[in-house]
Amino acid sequence: MDEIQKRILALRAEVAEHSRRYYDEDAPTISDFEYDRLIHTLADLEDQYPQFKSADSPTQRVGGTVSAKFSPVHHEAPLESLADVFSYDELFAFGRRVDDALEDGHSYDVEPKIDGLSIALEYVNGRFVRGATRGDGIDGEDVTENLRTIRSLPQTLKGAPERLIVRGEVYMAKDTFAEINRLREISGEPPLANPRNAAAGSLRQLDAKVTAERRLDLIVYNIQIPQEGYQTHSETLDALAAMGFDVVPYKVYDNIHDCVERIDWIGENRDSFKYEMDGAVIKLNGLEQRRIMGSTSKAPRWAVAYKYPPEKKESRVVDIAVQVGRTGVLTPKAVIEPVRLAGTTVTNATLHNQDFIDKLDVRVGDTVLVRKAGEIIPEVIDVIRDKRPEVTIPFRLPKCCPECGSPVLRDIDGAAMRCTGAECPAQRLRNIVHFASKEAMDIDGLGPAAVESLVAAGLISTPADLYYLEPEPVAALERKGKKSAENLISAIEASKSRGLARLLCAFGIRQVGQKAGKVLAKYYAGLDELMAAGEEELTAIPDIGPVTAGYISEWFANPQSQHQIRLLREAGVSFESGEETVDNRFAGKTFVLTGALELFTRDEASEIIERFGGRASSSVSKKTSYVLAGENAGSKLTRAQELGIEIITEQQFREMIE
Q: Report how far Cα 449 is from the mean position of its chain's Cα atoms.
A: 19
List helix spans (H) across 533-649. Answer: 535-539, 546-557, 559-571, 602-611, 635-643
- Looking at residue 402, its amino acid is P
Residue pair 184/191 in contact (Cβ under 8 Å)? The answer is yes
- Looking at residue 397, its amino acid is L
What pLDDT is attached to residue 442? 93
Q: 72-101: per-residue pLDDT in tens?
A: 899 999 999 999 999 999 999 999 999 999
What pLDDT is attached to residue 64? 53
Say which range, 146-150, 183-187, 320-324, has the weakest mean pLDDT: 183-187
Q: What torsion, rounded to 10 degrees, do the Cα atoms 32, 35, 40, 41 define?
A: 150
For residue 149, pLDDT beyond 70: yes
Measure the CA–CA gap between 220 and 216, rounded to whole angstroms. Answer: 14
What pLDDT is attached to residue 26? 52
Residue pair 142/70 in contact (Cβ under 8 Å)? The answer is yes
For residue 465, pLDDT beyond 90: yes
Measure the CA–CA gap between 228 and 239, rounded to whole angstroms. Answer: 13
Classify residue 523 as exposed, middle or buried by CB count within 10 Å of its CB (0-12, 13-18, 19+): middle
Domain boundaries, the chain: 2-60, 72-307, 312-387, 425-571, 590-657
The angle at the Cα of 604, spanning 602 to 609, to the nearest 5 degrees, equals 95
Q: 406-430: per-residue pLDDT in tens?
A: 999 888 777 889 898 888 988 888 8
Burial track 108-147 (b if 16+ CB lie within 10 A, e otherwise): bbbbbbbbbbbbbbbbeebebebbbbbbbbebbbbbbebb
For residue 206, pLDDT beyond 90: no
Say which range, 156-160, 281-285, 391-395, 445-449, has the weakest mean pLDDT: 445-449
Q: What are phi and psi of 575, to 5 degrees?
A: -105, 5
Pick the more confident residue, 104 or 454: 454
For residue 328, pLDDT beyond 90: no
Given 1.10.150.20, 3.30.43.10, 1.10.10.10, 3.30.70.360, which CATH number is that of 425-571?
1.10.150.20
Pick the more confident residue, 399 or 58: 399
- Residue 197: pLDDT band by 50, 70, 90 thresholds? confident
Residues in CB range of 590: below 8 A, 6 or more apart: 614, 615, 616, 617, 623, 624, 625, 626
| Average pLDDT for 607-616 | 84
Mean pLDDT of the chain: 88
Q: 236-256: per-residue pLDDT in tens?
A: 999 999 999 999 999 999 999
Residues in CB range of 74: below 8 A, 6 or more apart: 138, 139
Q: Of all residues in the chain, what percent are helix, strand and coil, respectively (each to 5)?
A: 40, 20, 40
Measure the CA–CA gap between 472 and 459, rounded to whole angstroms. Answer: 11
| Average pLDDT for 107-114 | 96
- Residue 55: pLDDT band by 50, 70, 90 thresholds? low
Residues in CB range of 37: below 8 A, 6 or more apart: 86
Pick the more confident residue, 373 or 183: 183
Given 3.60.20.10, 3.40.50.10190, 2.40.110.10, 3.90.70.10, which CATH number is that of 590-657?
3.40.50.10190
Strand 117-124 and strand 163-171: pairing?
Answer: antiparallel
- Residue 61: pLDDT band by 50, 70, 90 thresholds? low
Catalytic residue among 113, 283, 298, 636: 113
113 in active site: yes
Architecture of domain 2-60: Orthogonal Bundle (1.10)
Residue 62 exposure: Cα atoms within 13 Å on the Cβ side: 21
Measure the CA–CA gap between 506 and 513, rounded to whole angstroms. Answer: 8
Helix or strand run (H / E) with residue 344:
strand 344-350
The angle at the Cα of 424, spanning 418 to 430, to the nearest 5 degrees, equals 80
Residue 284, beta-bridge partner list: 108
Classify residue 496 as exposed, middle or buried by CB count within 10 Å of its CB (0-12, 13-18, 19+): middle
- Residue 291: pLDDT band by 50, 70, 90 thresholds? very high
Crossing angle of the two packed helices 428-436 and 448-456, in degrees rounded to 10: 130
What pLDDT is attached to residue 422? 86
Measure the CA–CA gap between 461 and 452, rounded to whole angstroms. Answer: 10
For residue 581, pLDDT beyond 60: no
Measure the CA–CA gap between 109 and 231, rounded to whole angstroms. Answer: 13
What pLDDT is attached to residue 501? 92
- Residue 372: pLDDT band by 50, 70, 90 thresholds? confident
CATH 3.30.470.30 fits 72-307, yes or no: yes
Helix or strand run (H / E) with residue 263:
helix 259-268
Measure the CA–CA gap between 456 and 478, rounded to whole angstroms. Answer: 11
Measure the CA–CA gap between 165 and 243, rounded to whole angstroms. Answer: 13
Pick the more confident residue, 322 or 47: 322
Q: Is 324 helix (H, G, I), strand (E, B) or coil?
A: strand
The sign of the dihedral angle between the CA atoms of 212, 217, 222, 227 is positive
In DSSP notation, 599-627 reads SS-HHHHHHHHHHTT-EEESS--TT--EE
For residue 31, pLDDT beyond 80: no
Pick the more confident residue, 606 or 221: 221
Q: Is 329 helix (H, G, I), strand (E, B) or coil?
A: strand
**Nearest to residue 111, comparing CAs of 317, 310, 259?**
259
- Looking at residue 348, its amino acid is N
* % of the chain residues with pLDDT over 70: 94
The angle at the Cα of 455, spanning 443 to 320, to the nearest 5 degrees, equals 120
Q: 487-534: per-residue pLDDT in tens?
A: 999 999 999 999 999 999 999 898 898 889 988 988 888 999 999 999
For residue 9, pLDDT beyond 90: no
- Residue 463: pLDDT band by 50, 70, 90 thresholds? very high
Residue pair 347/318 in contact (Cβ under 8 Å)? The answer is no
Fold of domain 312-387: OB fold (Dihydrolipoamide Acetyltransferase, E2P) (2.40.50)
Pick the more confident residue, 343 or 261: 261
47-56, 260-269, 305-314, 590-599: which has the highest mean pLDDT? 260-269
| Average pLDDT for 52-61 | 70
* % of the chain residues with pLDDT over 90: 52
What is the pTM (predicted TM-score) of this model? 0.62
Residue pair 171/116 in contact (Cβ under 8 Å)? The answer is yes
What pLDDT is attached to residue 265? 93
What pLDDT is attached to residue 32? 61
| Average pLDDT for 98-105 | 89
Q: How many CB atoms lie within 10 A of CB 602?
A: 14
